[in-house]
Each structure stands twice: as structure tokens, then as C-alpha cells.
Amino acid sequence: MLLAGCSWMPDKHLGGAPPTIETARPAVSPATTVTPAGTVRPLAGIPQAALVDPDTASLVVLVGGDTPSLQVLGSTSGTRVIPLPKTAPTTALAAAQPGTVLLTTRGGYLTVDLRAGTVTRIDIDGQANTDFTAIARRADGRLLLGTVDGTLLLLAGPAQVAHSERIFARVDAIVTQGDIGVVLDRGQTSVTAVNTDGSPGEALRAGEGATTMVADSAGRVLVTDTRGGELLVFGTDPLIMRQRYPVPSSPFGLAGSTALAWVSTTVDNKVTGYDLSTGIPVQRVQYPTVSQPDLLAHDAATDTLYVVSTTGAGVQMIAHASRP
């Protein structure tokens, strides 16, 4: 068992798959008894991921199911639907250049121009049968991708692999701070730094059942420990746990912002904003949400917090969310 806060180096010479635990999941939300804060807009389909694109000032939601799509919601206008290929599931969503997002799929990834609504497929060399599960863009423009079998790849170009190592049980999420990557492995409930050459760096245990990870504008990496009921805050150079704070009621959804770290809890259908500037998280604001508030995104330009239900209750928009 790895002790929380202690650094270790992934050992790629042990052989076989790393030992794992059952991955944590968000608690099933009860029916809402309080009107959600802000406004709620309908959203069709099964949401899988969401982010804010500053260039188009819109919320981008990856919707799965039989008719996969990106649904693009403006702050005041309606919803635009960008159909996605049905040949293989699309799994992870990440920001690329302004106005463009990335999606992982079998054999490679998709780039989507949000203004034009065009989808371009990139097949990665030698990976035709690989199921990709995570993707992130570094500050230098190079891409990191992870696979369902725990392999991490650094690309040298759009399709060329510069470095590849299979050291994880699974790669559930990747975020970047500058040119440093961080991998979340839910099966090992761990976070691992990725060096600029694509090799693994320091690794830390992330609570009892880490589920969601985001990077914020202050250089931190935030993780929800859903099973352990905590918000975890990491620095990346070197990888170190800087803060941990109890968050009851099944913390799951997560978003970073300039002022606050946002955490949703599915047992009570709430979202809470924590100030991390004092060295220990301090609750500043809290709002009632739609049911099953699994996905969060924050628009820094307007201080709008988006809460996306994954069970059909729609998209909640809370304007000026950081103000108490």
C-alpha cells in the first residue's frame, strides 16, 4: 500500500499489470428538493465530458450513445450540435488551440473546429487497434495520450509517436501545467508526473478512490477523492501534495478557476467553491444543483459556472458564481 503524500517511482520492470482496486464512482443522486441556482437549459443525450472554450465563449459537451455529438451552448443563444463519427466511441475531451477541441477514439483522435463544425480524424502511427482514453495538449503544442491498457504516449507530430511506455493499470485522465503532464490512474488511485520527454516522473497515492482531475490557472492540479471524501491539491514541479481537505457527500465533479476550486457532491446535489489561497481550502460559496451534478466547467471571462447533469436534468448556468 502506498502512503498518501509519499513519492514513489513507477516500476516498469515488475512485469504484468499493476495491482488495482475497484474504481470509485459517484453516489447516485436523490431527487432534487431545492430549485437549482441560476438557470437550467435542456440537454439531450448522455453527457460524458464538458469544458469551456474561451474563443467561442461557449460550453462544449461531449454526448455519447447511439448518436455521439458535441453540443455547443452559447451563454445566451441556443445549442449547436456537431455530429461525431459512429465508427468507434469517442471518450475523452480536451482543449486544443482556441476554438478547437480534441477527442480520443480507437486508433487516434479527432480535432473539431467549433466555429466551422468540422471534424478531422488523425490516425496515430501503429495504433490502429488501440483504444485511447485520455488526451491533453502541452504548452509547446505536443500531445500526450493514454490508453485503456495503461500505456502513455507522447507525440512528436500529429501522428508520430516520440515516446511510449506501459506503466499504468489504466490512464483515466491527463492534464498539463506548461510542458509537464500529470496522469490519473483510477485503478491504482494514483497521480504520476510526466517529464518533458514523455517518461514517467514522481508518483503519489491519491486518496482512497480518486476519480476526477483538473488543472487550474494557478499551476495546481486538483483531484477529487470520491471514496475517501476529500479534495486533493497537488503541485507539479516536483509533484507534491500541498493540500487535502475533507469534502463529504461523495465529491466528484471538479473545475478550477482563478478565485476558487469548484467541487460537486452527488449525495446532496450541491456545488461548493473553495478558496485555496490560504494554504487550506476555505468554503466561500455553495449552491444547490441539478441532480447527478457529475460534470463542471467554469468560464473565467464571465465567472459563469456550468453544472452538467449526467442523468438528463440539463445544464445549470450560475452567473457570477464566485461572488458570495
What integer pLDDT is reported at residue 63 of this predicted model?
Answer: 98
pTM for the model stands at 0.94
What integer pLDDT is reported at residue 77 of this predicted model?
Answer: 74
Q: Which residues have CB under 8 Å from 4's CB, separation 6+?
A: 204, 205, 206, 207, 241, 244
**Which of 282, 249, 244, 242 lies closest to 265 in space, CA to CA?**
249
User: CATH number of the domain at 219-323, out of 2.120.10.30, 2.60.40.10, 3.30.2130.10, 3.40.50.970?
Assistant: 2.120.10.30
Average pLDDT over residues 62-79: 91
Rounded CA-CA distance 24/212 in Å is 10
Is a pLDDT exceeding 70 seen at residue 254? yes
Q: Give me the percent of the chain exceeding a pLDDT of 90.
A: 90
Assign residue 275 a region: left if phi > 0, alpha if psi is -120 to 50, beta otherwise?
Answer: beta
Per domain, the residue ranges of the chain are 219-323
Is a pLDDT exceeding 70 seen at residue 13? no
What integer pLDDT is reported at residue 42 of this predicted model?
Answer: 96
pLDDT band at residue 324 under the 50/70/90 scheme: confident
Rounded CA-CA distance 26/129 in Å is 30
Residue range 110-165, pLDDT digits in tens = 999 999 999 999 999 999 999 999 999 999 999 999 999 999 999 999 999 999 99
Rounded CA-CA distance 299/75 in Å is 10
* Extended strands (E) in 131-250: 132-137, 143-147, 151-155, 161-166, 173-177, 180-185, 190-194, 200-205, 210-215, 221-225, 230-236, 239-246
Average pLDDT over the chain, rounded to an integer: 94
Cα→Cα distances 258→107, 125, 207, Å:
36, 38, 25
Are the C-beta atoms of residues 214 and 222 closer than 8 Å to each other? yes
What integer pLDDT is reported at residue 4 of this predicted model?
Answer: 39
pLDDT-wise least confident of 3-12, 18-27, 114-123, 154-163: 3-12
Residue range 189-245, pLDDT digits in tens = 999 999 999 999 999 999 999 999 999 999 999 999 999 999 999 999 999 999 999
**Terminal Cα distance for the chain, rounded:** 41
